[in-house]
Structure 1
Amino acid sequence: MSVLVVGLSHQSAPVAMLERAAVTGDDLGKLLHAVNDSPHVAETAIVSTCNRVEVYAVVDKFHGGVSSISELLSLHSGIPLDELSRHLYVHYEDRAVQHAFSVACGMESMVVGEGQILGQIRAAFRHAQDEGTIGRDLHDLLQQALRVGKRAHHETGIDQAGASLVSVGLDVARQHLGPLDRVNALVVGAGAMSGLAVATLARTGAREIVVANRTYDKAVRLAADATAAGVTARAIPLADLDHGLAGADLIVSCTGAAGLVISKGQMEAAGAGADGRRRFFLDLALPHDVDPGVRDLPGAALSGLAELRTAEQAAEAIGPEAIEAVRTIVAGEVSTFLGAARAAAVAPTVVALRSKAADVVEAELARLTGRLPELDDKARKEISQTVRRVVDKLLHAPTVRVKELAAAPGGDTYADALRELFDLDPKAPEAVTRADIASEASDGGAAALAGGSGGSPPQMGTADIASEASDGGAGHIEGSGT
């Protein structure tokens, strides 16, 4: 089984195609199960954000997996397969691991270094776990990706610019409106991106922040956070959106709605174009929340994902040194992760070899007892311990060495060599349980099985992931709070 990534992002596809391919709500669960139930796929997780849709899968055949996933993405999006395929990228085995770690570090984001992707990966992990489509391989990969992402942000200056779609978008808003401490802001939605917008506007000291959301209680919580930061803020239900639009200079919208939330007609009815007020619309939703026609209104400007794609402020502020430092971290972590995976792959064969040796020892000791019944218990015990020590010493060096060799590329051949040299039953390694492997790891091979010589931390459990989610996790980025 090998890890496969099939996806499209702002780097490979136009925003219009990303809109059509976006996976939200019930559709995300349906696609998750459709992929997981398809031929050649054993595990599935889907990372879906405002600028990427990526299917992570564990497959037994490369071409079969790519074909099945591509067809399902085409079916879901309604984009013809031949058209969609031109914008899909595929990563397999080592490249899939490298891609996952780079994504978690924000290196593949529209704004390099933005940290919200960690929350999106956590959301993908939890959703796949809740739906029962994630197994050991993707569990380990996504957990390690989260750790690598956190390490990159903690140890480098990759996020020193506060780079996110929100911060870059608000920088563009300043160019149109001037200092944001003079504006009345309306934030539509109460998901991760909306929460970031409220927090950023509160730090800049906006004159007033109004939060509109379908679930009113969530809007109230966001407004309360802004009030606690010393800014005038209030919540309104989404039904009162027209009233909120009339008094707003800056409108930030990021909901999970399937259609437009703010139309040109709404804005005209709210006085836009006739009241002499300059307005800026920041549309961070996918599909779009704001009617592109609002650009035609006097005094109005609109920036969406397509415009933000060309923003270079964050990358310039980060600098090449930080980017290179992250690349170094990713390369080292990929090497360590793959080495540990290869070492773990040989462990069942090592356990099967030790099991066969133990069976031989027991059979010979039983034979000895039958031939020399006059041996007393003390002599029998001493002989037994001696034979076992001899076998353990003979097996110790080759089994430890084979784990070390297995960590290198092509290391799986050493497991094949062991099976051939010691005439092991081909099915024996498959029958080895994880408990057996854990026991073997403590017997001379713990470093390799627990993460290699690179010092990767031990694997976390579900509770650890839940804890991680509260540590900077922004949840799903497409305004899932509405």
Structure 2
Amino acid sequence: MSLLVVGLSHRTAPVGVLERAALTGDAPALLLRDAAATETVAEAALVNTCNRIELYADVDKFHAGVAELSLLLSHHSGVELEELTSHLYVHYEDRAVHHIFSVACGLDSMVVGEGQILGQLRDALARAQEEHTAGRGLNDLFQQALRVGKRAHSETGIDKAGQSLVTFGLDQIARTTGDIAGMRALVVGAGSMSSLAAATLVRAGVGDLLIANRTRERAERLVTNLGVANAAVIDFAEVPKALDTVDLVISCTGAAGVVITAEDIADAAAAREGLVPLAFLDLAMPRDVDHAVHELPGALLVDLESLSEADAAAPGAGDVDAVTGIVADEVTAFGAAQRAAQIAPTVVALRAMASEVVLSELGRLNTRLPDLDERTRAEVSQTVKRVVDKLLHAPTVRVKQLAAEPGGAGYADALRELFDLDLAAVQAVSGTLGAAKAAGMKTAGAQTVSAQTVNKAVSAQTVGVQATPNGTLAGGGAR
């Protein structure tokens, strides 16, 4: 697998760009289908969160892969390629593995060490599987990333040092409002982030808790899962009126536009002027709460932009160093395992060819010496097989060891060349014939942006991706 990652996050793009690039509705599924339908991409997965949009792909051509994925991100996000390119980062092969393992451990999160990213990676893999764009390569990668993230949280204190965005945001609000225990709260939305927010509020000891969602059944399911007597559901249309009765609002919907306007809030905020402000925690991307609320007296808005500017409580340097070490070790082990797996079909094909030669020669022996007794014939057969096994043992063991090292893929090619192995037979053993991959991975009817279009656009916009010594690749202003 030649792994390529093209994406943007809170580290490379301002919130305004992330907000405009946010993929909502059917856009994530369409992007995945289009990516998997390109000639360069064999598998594709999308990590799409409030502060991260990343395409992971198994590609057969690096430059064409970067160009196609960049254009697809631009096409589906609606952000012009020229602007988007300056915020993109590109990682390839081992550096791409290092990146996803770091993401899984929370090292690349807005709040270092937060554990919610594990659920988001799990959701990304599930979506790719549902769209039939993830095969064995990306499945193994994401499953291993999840294991690495769990290992980091179990073996270090990174989970205690880090916080979720919900907890961090509530901490920022509490600096102005004081303890949120006993407050009357409203959660708008019923997705994974909203569920986390509701559970966090319950643990914090809020008073009455209201849940509103466009689909009322999902809100009712969330209340049932919370299992507390002080939680209730209100209709989505009642949210503006409910603002008069609550002290705190957390909003995280998948809406494409503003859900709570400054006009909705103005009267409720004005009534609190001089008192503890009506607090809003907006975790949606694009934003749910009108940015103009920042200017309203009697209201306090904490959103992703203000969170990115706030100073999070830094985890201990020892924990970060420990997790960094875990990631480095796991990347090395994963790379070695992948390279060893790549040569395994060649070794199997070599042994299969040797077995055929042995059987052929024993057949000739039986024809030439038909009078040999069964005991002698069996002994000759075992002797020939032992000789072949001993001759093949050292080179096959050694080639596996060499192939597991960086740059070891060439040893499989050398083995095939030396023994004149049939490449088609090797591919059949590995189960990665191009036709089979196309049948299993490509989705019919996808709205594909052609490679010719990609090349023209890239030439016009001058993406100009180049490799750096450490394997990280940058285009335009990417890092």
> 1:209·1:223 contact (CA, 8 Å) conserved in 2?
no
Provide the C-alpha distance between the structure 2 equivalents of 1:273 and 1:222, rounded to a whole number of angstroms. 31
The CA deviation string for residues 420-440 of structure 1, in whole angstroms up to 9 with x for no partner, is 3223233332221459xxxxx
The Cα shift of 1:380 comes to 1.3
The CA deviation string for residues 55-80 of structure 1, in whole angstroms up to 9 with x for no partner, is 00000000000000111111112222
- 1:243 maps to which residue? 241
> 2:280·2:301 contact (CA, 8 Å) conserved in 1?
yes
> 2:272·2:278 contact (CA, 8 Å) conserved in 1?
no
Q: 2:266 aligns with which of 265, 268, 280?
A: 268
> 1:226·1:232 contact (CA, 8 Å) conserved in 2?
no
The CA deviation string for residues 178-231 of structure 1, in whole angstroms up to 9 with x for no partner, is 111142111111112211221221122112211111222332333345553xx6
Supply the AA of the counterpart residue of 1:430.
Q
Q: Would the alpha carbon gap of residues 182 and 20 (structure 1) be closer, same or farther in structure 2, given more than 3 Å must change?
A: same
The Cα shift of 1:342 comes to 0.5
2:298 paired with 1:299: yes
Q: Would the alpha carbon gap of residues 29 and 236 (structure 1) be closer, same or farther in structure 2, given more than 3 Å must change?
A: same
Q: 2:406 aligns with which of 405, 409, 430?
A: 409
> 1:168·1:311 contact (CA, 8 Å) conserved in 2?
no
> 2:271·2:298 contact (CA, 8 Å) conserved in 1?
no
> 2:112·2:162 contact (CA, 8 Å) conserved in 1?
no
- 2:454 maps to which residue? none
Comparing 302-311 with 51-60, greater Cα deviation is found at: 302-311
2:207 paired with 1:210: no
SS at match of 1:370: helix
The 5-angstrom pairing of residues 61-80 of structure 1 reads 61-80=61-80
- 2:464 maps to which residue? none
SS at match of 1:159: helix
- 2:457 maps to which residue? none
- 2:389 maps to which residue? 392
Provide the C-alpha distance between the structure 1 equivalents of 2:353 and 2:269, rounded to a whole number of angstroms. 81
SS at match of 1:286: coil
Q: 2:324 aligns with which of 323, 327, 347?
A: 327
5+ residue gaps in structure 2? 433-479
SS at match of 1:54: strand
- 1:337 maps to which residue? 334
- 1:117 maps to which residue? 117
Supply the AA of the counterpart residue of 1:288.
R
Supply the AA of the counterpart residue of 1:309.
S
Q: Would the alpha carbon gap of residues 121 and 85 (structure 1) be closer, same or farther in structure 2, given more than 3 Å must change?
A: same
Provide the C-alpha distance between the structure 1 equivalents of 2:74 and 2:140, rounded to a whole number of angstroms. 28
CA RMSD in angstroms, aligned pairs only: 1.6
- 1:467 maps to which residue? none
TM-score, normalised on structure 1?
A: 0.86
> 1:91·1:99 contact (CA, 8 Å) conserved in 2?
yes
Q: Would the alpha carbon gap of residues 365 and 35 (structure 1) be closer, same or farther in structure 2, given more than 3 Å must change?
A: same
SS at match of 1:337: helix
Supply the AA of the counterpart residue of 1:204.
A
Comparing 38-47 with 234-243, greater Cα deviation is found at: 234-243
> 1:39·1:64 contact (CA, 8 Å) conserved in 2?
no
The 5-angstrom pairing of residues 227-242 of structure 1 reads 228=228, 232-242=230-240
Provide the C-alpha distance between the structure 1 equivalents of 2:364 and 2:154, rounded to a whole number of angstroms. 62
Q: Would the alpha carbon gap of residues 237 and 161 (structure 1) be closer, same or farther in structure 2, given more than 3 Å must change?
A: farther
Provide the C-alpha distance between the structure 2 equivalents of 1:434 and 1:266, rounded to a whole number of angstroms. 58
The Cα shift of 1:272 comes to 2.3
Supply the AA of the counterpart residue of 1:126.
A
Greater RCO between the two (CA within 8 Å, min separation 6)?
2
Q: 2:255 aligns with which of 247, 257, 260?
A: 257
Supply the AA of the counterpart residue of 2:429.
V
The 5-angstrom pairing of residues 160-171 of structure 1 reads 160-161=160-161, 163-171=163-171
Provide the C-alpha distance between the structure 2 equivalents of 1:173 and 1:219, rounded to a whole number of angstroms. 24
The Cα shift of 1:162 comes to 5.3
Provide the C-alpha distance between the structure 1 equivalents of 2:366 and 2:192, rounded to a whole number of angstroms. 71
Q: Would the alpha carbon gap of residues 104 and 275 (structure 1) be closer, same or farther in structure 2, given more than 3 Å must change?
A: closer
Provide the C-alpha distance between the structure 2 equivalents of 1:46 and 1:308, rounded to a whole number of angstroms. 24
SS at match of 2:269: coil
Provide the C-alpha distance between the structure 1 equivalents of 2:209 and 2:419, rounded to a whole number of angstroms. 72
Tell me how many residue pairs correspond in the alignment. Answer: 430
The 5-angstrom pairing of residues 358-373 of structure 1 reads 358-373=355-370
Supply the AA of the counterpart residue of 1:221.
R
- 1:159 maps to which residue? 159
Provide the C-alpha distance between the structure 1 equivalents of 2:431 and 2:292, rounded to a whole number of angstroms. 59
The 5-angstrom pairing of residues 16-95 of structure 1 reads 16-95=16-95
Provide the C-alpha distance between the structure 2 equivalents of 1:175 and 1:43, rounded to a whole number of angstroms. 46
Provide the C-alpha distance between the structure 1 equivalents of 2:350 and 2:411, rounded to a whole number of angstroms. 13
The Cα shift of 1:82 comes to 1.3
2:310 paired with 1:311: yes
- 1:382 maps to which residue? 379
2:347 paired with 1:350: yes
Supply the AA of the counterpart residue of 1:431.
A
Q: Would the alpha carbon gap of residues 99 and 162 (structure 1) be closer, same or farther in structure 2, given more than 3 Å must change?
A: closer
Provide the C-alpha distance between the structure 2 equivalents of 1:169 and 1:433, rounded to a whole number of angstroms. 49
2:89 paired with 1:98: no
> 1:212·1:238 contact (CA, 8 Å) conserved in 2?
yes
Q: Would the alpha carbon gap of residues 423 and 226 (structure 1) be closer, same or farther in structure 2, given more than 3 Å must change?
A: closer
Provide the C-alpha distance between the structure 2 equivalents of 1:257 and 1:59, rounded to a whole number of angstroms. 33
Q: Percent identity?
A: 58
Q: Would the alpha carbon gap of residues 395 and 227 (structure 1) be closer, same or farther in structure 2, given more than 3 Å must change?
A: closer
Provide the C-alpha distance between the structure 2 equivalents of 1:217 and 1:426, rounded to a whole number of angstroms. 55
> 2:272·2:298 contact (CA, 8 Å) conserved in 1?
no
Provide the C-alpha distance between the structure 1 equivalents of 2:207 and 2:349, rounded to a whole number of angstroms. 70
The CA deviation string for residues 152-184 of structure 1, in whole angstroms up to 9 with x for no partner, is 111111110450110010001101211111421
Supply the AA of the counterpart residue of 1:419.
R
> 2:2·2:60 contact (CA, 8 Å) conserved in 1?
yes
The Cα shift of 1:107 comes to 0.8
The CA deviation string for residues 244-300 of structure 1, in whole angstroms up to 9 with x for no partner, is 21111111100001111100111135x321344521111000010001112222211
SS at match of 1:282: strand
- 1:286 maps to which residue? 285
Provide the C-alpha distance between the structure 2 equivalents of 1:328 and 1:193, rounded to a whole number of angstroms. 30
SS at match of 2:158: coil
5+ residue gaps in structure 1? 436-482
SS at match of 2:407: coil
> 1:111·1:311 contact (CA, 8 Å) conserved in 2?
no
